[in-house]
């Protein structure tokens, strides 16, 4: 922990801003199993904040910009306070404090759902809560896509047109960046023929863009915080359910075509009986809506038409494979001890094969 957070320097920085003040030592523990920016619970007594910082090691250009992520969250709350985003308590862009930029935010109530479902979502008694969560995911995404995007463009976060073309260019650049970094270290990045086939298909079938929106860029089940929720029916009976208390991980948020977010969500949404390539998805459990209903719920929440989502789902799986390939090479170089990355030797080619199957390249 000491190589990730200088507790004395962090304590001093927090104290200068009146955050987590009081007697006793600062306590820090890792939160979640994130494989991108690192998240920690920082507390003193009963007061607590969540801290986000980049991972160790050299980073790809434009990746892991936590200061920008905090700006997005602050702007969302200022533009539309109905969007469920934790309040940012402080931002530090000075590397001299803990070695990297970071920010702290309030802790939203609830849990992040990965792997096994928590008790309130499990078993026959959790059916209504699973249903509420499954319906809530596209509805909350629709609320994000209904936010006025103009203040974001004015703040230099995103552009009103050209998002899909920029996405292709950016992720091709990320792949080429991986190859260049490996070559600079005296190695050679592995061949990924399905990557090339999907890249060419996406370029050839680039769709016309719709009205822009604020897009999250990484919207899926384990990037929302879910809490148990009780409400009463008209007869007064208490119904146990669930609600999304916050959307987190805004690292890749911008302004663009919102169907890219929808395609990304659908790419993590297996139907019953389908192979799940990436572990930790809860939508295979009874109660979650099927993909077609997810699309309808998003359309109702936004007033938009999704059309053919195949291009956007293929893009999502292809992008994820590129991102994970970068993480795989960080693991090979000894810059991460995350056991998840060891699976990517076979996991990345499997994702690229899935993307190729989706688009028929």
pLDDT, tens digit, for every residue of 286-312?
889 999 999 999 999 999 999 999 999
Mean pLDDT, residues 213-238: 86
Asked if 174 contacts 249 with a C-beta cutoff of 8 angstroms, the reply is no
In angstroms, rounded to a whole number, what is the distance separating the alpha carbons of residues 113 and 133? 11
pLDDT over threshold 70, residue 210: yes
- 60: domain CATH number? 3.30.200.20
Same domain, 87 and 169: no
Same domain, 320 and 189: yes
Predicted confidence band of residue 253 (pLDDT cuts 50, 70, 90): very high
Asked if 300 contacts 142 with a C-beta cutoff of 8 angstroms, the reply is yes
Same domain, 93 and 135: no
Give the range of the structural domain holding residue 180, as residue numbers without chain letter.
Answer: 162-208+308-361
The answer to whether position 273 is within a domain reads no
The answer to whether position 86 is within a domain reads yes
The answer to whether position 264 is within a domain reads no
Same domain, 204 and 353: yes
Here the tokens at position 146 are 């209904």
Structural domains of the chain, count: 3
Contacts of 108 (CB under 8 A, 6+ apart): 84, 86, 225, 245, 246, 248
Same domain, 302 and 317: no
Identify which has the larger pLDDT, 57 or 10.
10
Convert the pLDDT of each residue in 125-184 to its tens digit.
899 999 999 999 999 999 999 999 999 999 999 999 999 999 999 999 999 988 998 888
β-strand partners of 226: 111, 244
The answer to whether position 260 is within a domain reads no
Same domain, 94 and 236: no
Same domain, 183 and 222: no
Mean pLDDT, residues 118-127: 90
Asked if 141 contacts 300 with a C-beta cutoff of 8 angstroms, the reply is no
The CA-to-CA distance between both ends of the chain, in Å, stands at 45
Q: Given 307, 326, 347, which residue is the final one in a domain?
A: 307
In angstroms, rounded to a whole number, what is the distance separating the alpha carbons of residues 139 and 64? 27
pLDDT of the residue at 81: 85
Same domain, 101 and 112: no
The answer to whether position 265 is within a domain reads no
In angstroms, rounded to a whole number, what is the distance separating the alpha carbons of residues 225 and 112? 5
Q: Given 63, 84, 105, which residue is the final one in a domain?
A: 105
Same domain, 118 and 199: no
pLDDT of the residue at 2: 56
Residue 211 gets the label, from left (phi > 0), alpha (psi -120 to 50) or beta, of beta
pLDDT over threshold 50, residue 281: no
Same domain, 319 and 240: no
Asked if 32 contacts 23 with a C-beta cutoff of 8 angstroms, the reply is no
Identify which has the larger pLDDT, 334 or 171.
171
Same domain, 49 and 178: no
β-strand partners of 88: 105
pLDDT of the residue at 280: 42
In angstroms, rounded to a whole number, what is the distance separating the alpha carbons of residues 89 and 86? 9
The DSSP letter of residue 111 is B
The answer to whether position 268 is within a domain reads no
Q: Report the 10 Å Cβ neighbour count for 292.
A: 10
The answer to whether position 267 is within a domain reads no
pLDDT of the residue at 5: 85
Sign of CA dihedral 96, 72, 327, 277: positive
Same domain, 150 and 178: no
The answer to whether position 259 is within a domain reads no
Identify which has the larger pLDDT, 335 or 149.
149
pLDDT over threshold 70, residue 238: no
Convert the pLDDT of each residue in 17-66 to its tens digit.
999 988 888 999 998 755 568 899 999 999 999 999 987 655 544 556 89
In angstroms, rounded to a whole number, what is the distance separating the alpha carbons of residues 103 and 205? 39
Here the tokens at position 81 are 């306070």
pLDDT of the residue at 233: 67
Sign of CA dihedral 226, 112, 253, 101: positive
Convert the pLDDT of each residue in 336-351 to its tens digit.
777 788 888 889 999 9
């Amino acid at each position: 922990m000491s190589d990730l957070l200088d507790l004395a320097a962090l304590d001093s920085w927090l104290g200068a801003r009146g955050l987590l003040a009081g007697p006793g030592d600062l306590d820090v523990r890792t939160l979640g199993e994130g494989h991108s920016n690192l998240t920690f619970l920082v507390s003193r007594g009963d007061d607590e904040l969540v801290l986000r910082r980049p991972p160790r090691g050299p980073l790809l250009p434009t990746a892991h910009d936590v200061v920008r992520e905090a700006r997005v969250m602050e702007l969302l709350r200022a533009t539309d306070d109905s969007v469920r985003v934790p309040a940012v308590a402080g931002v530090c862009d000075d590397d001299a404090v803990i070695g990297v930029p970071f920010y702290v935010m309030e802790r939203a109530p609830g849990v992040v759902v990965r792997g096994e479902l928590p008790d309130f979502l499990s078993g026959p008694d959790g059916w209504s809560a699973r249903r509420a969560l499954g319906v809530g995911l596209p509805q909350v995404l629709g609320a994000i896509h209904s936010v006025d995007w103009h203040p974001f463009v004015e703040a230099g976060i995103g552009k009103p047109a050209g998002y899909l073309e920029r996405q292709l260019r950016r992720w091709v650049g990320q792949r080429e960046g991986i190859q260049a970094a490996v070559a600079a270290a005296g190695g050679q990045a592995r061949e990924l023929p399905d990557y090339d086939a999907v890249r060419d298909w996406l370029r050839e079938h680039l769709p016309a863009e719709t009205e822009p929106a604020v897009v999250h860029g990484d919207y899926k089940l384990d990037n929302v915080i879910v809490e148990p929720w009780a409400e009463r029916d008209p007869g007064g009976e208490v119904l146990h359910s669930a609600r999304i208390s916050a959307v987190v991980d805004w690292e890749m948020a911008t302004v663009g075509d919102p169907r890219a977010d929808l395609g990304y969500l659908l790419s993590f949404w297996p139907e019953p009986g389908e192979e799940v390539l990436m572990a930790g998805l809860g939508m295979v459990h009874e109660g979650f809506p099927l993909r077609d209903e997810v699309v309808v719920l998003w359309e109702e929440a936004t007033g938009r038409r999704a059309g053919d989502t195949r291009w956007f789902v293929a893009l999502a799986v292809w992008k994820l494979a590129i991102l994970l390939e970068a993480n795989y090479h960080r693991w090979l170089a000894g810059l991460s001890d995350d056991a998840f990355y060891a699976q990517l030797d076979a996991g990345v080619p499997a994702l690229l094969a899935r993307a190729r199957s989706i688009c028929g390249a």
